[in-house]
Amino acid sequence: MKHARVQYDGAAHDATEQAGQLQLDDGRLVGFDTVQWLPPLQPTPRPRTILALGLNYADHAKELAFKAPEEPLVFIKGEGSLIGHRAQTVRPPGVDYMHYECELAVVIGRAAKKVKRDDAYDFVAGYTVANDYAIRDYLENWYRPNLRVKNRDTCTPLGPWRVDTADVPNPMNLALSTTVNGKVTQAGHTRDMIFDVPYLIEYFSSFMTLNPGDLILTGTPDGIVDCRPGDVVVTEIENIGALVNTIRTP
């Protein structure tokens, strides 16, 4: 099943996809165009942990002139950076290079501590699409990628759907692509991840507990380009969804 979270008629609702419409948690059927799409996540009692991978596809690591890492390169994002489907992301004035990153996002389903890779999928509730924008002008070599690059308001679109694990038999066999104004600029495949989803769950849960609603953004493949105000950026993952975002000025 495909789950969404939307703002409709003055309130936030959980919703599911029903034959090209949204069925709200109160039963109403509404069109995709009538709602404001929020990140497809249910609220958590504490701020969710958002882990994000850098250089997790060999081709992208090469693109950025890094050798492939020997252990996951991970950074953390705050919830304040998340926005929903069909929202707008700010390009700051005066920067030279702002790029999208199409990423498979794993949504944790139950508390995971010291989980072995063979059991890892038991702790996943579902998957969604993340667009982990970066503004490379702000990169500094202190806790890189630093938060000024990766934790900006509006710079992590997520959605539109959270898809149950039952509907994603193999998350390591999904095509990813990005279009900018309709032109394909990025094409990759989750099988090319350096550290796959079970590895990442085993690795993180070896030293920190992952809790329901936590996210792992699993990194992006080759094919990043600069995006300008007005550009429509669609990051899409096979069977998960197509996340639409538009770049704007402040």
Partner 1 sequence: MSQPTAPEMATAPFLPQGTVYGTLLNALDEWETLSPQMSAPPYKAAPKAPVLYIKTANTWSPCGSPITVPTSTTEVEVGASIAMVIGTPAHQSTVHEALSHVAGYVLVNDLSLPHANFFRPPVKYKNLDGFLGIGPRCATPAEVGDPNRLRLEVRIDGFLRQTVDYARLVRPAAQLLADVSEFMTLHPGDVLLLGCGAQRPLARAGQRIDISAPGQPTLGTSSNTLVAEAA
Query: What is the contact surface with partner 1 in residues (CB under 8 A)?
Result: 46-49, 51, 73-81, 113, 138, 140-148, 151-153, 207-211
Q: How far is the CB of 26 from partner 1 (least distance, A)?
A: 28
Q: How far is the CB of 2 from partner 1 (least distance, A)?
A: 27
Nearer to partner 1, 51 or 180 (CB): 51
Q: How far is the CB of 64 from partner 1 (least distance, A)?
A: 14
Q: Which of 175, 217, 216 is CA-nearest to residue 192?
A: 175
Nearer to partner 1, 160 or 213 (CB): 213
Strand partners, 226: 99
Nearer to partner 1, 2 or 77 (CB): 77
Q: How far is the CB of 70 from partner 1 (least distance, A)?
A: 12
Q: Residue written as tokens 């202190």?
A: 142
Nearer to partner 1, 2 or 60 (CB): 60
Nearer to partner 1, 110 or 191 (CB): 110
Q: How far is the CB of 46 from partner 1 (least distance, A)?
A: 4
> Given CA atoms 148, 234, 169, 59 in this order, what sign does their dihedral have?
negative
